[in-house]
Amino acid sequence: MTFYYGTLDENGDPANSLNSSGASTRIPFVQVSESRTLDSLFQRVVTNYSPPEGSILVFDSGIAVMKTDGLYIALEASSEGALLTAARRLERVPSSDRGPASLS
Give dist(CA 51, CA 44) in Å, integer. Answer: 14
Identify the sign of the CA torsion 41, 86, 26, 58.
Answer: negative
Domain ranges of the chain: 2-92
pLDDT tens digits for range 19-47: 777 777 778 999 999 999 887 777 777 77
99: left (phi over 0), alpha (psi -120 to 50) or beta: beta
Q: For residue 93, list its beta bridge partners.
A: 102
Which amino acid appears at position 70 of this protein?
A: G
Q: What is the pTM of this model?
A: 0.76
pLDDT tens digits for range 48-65: 788 999 899 998 778 999
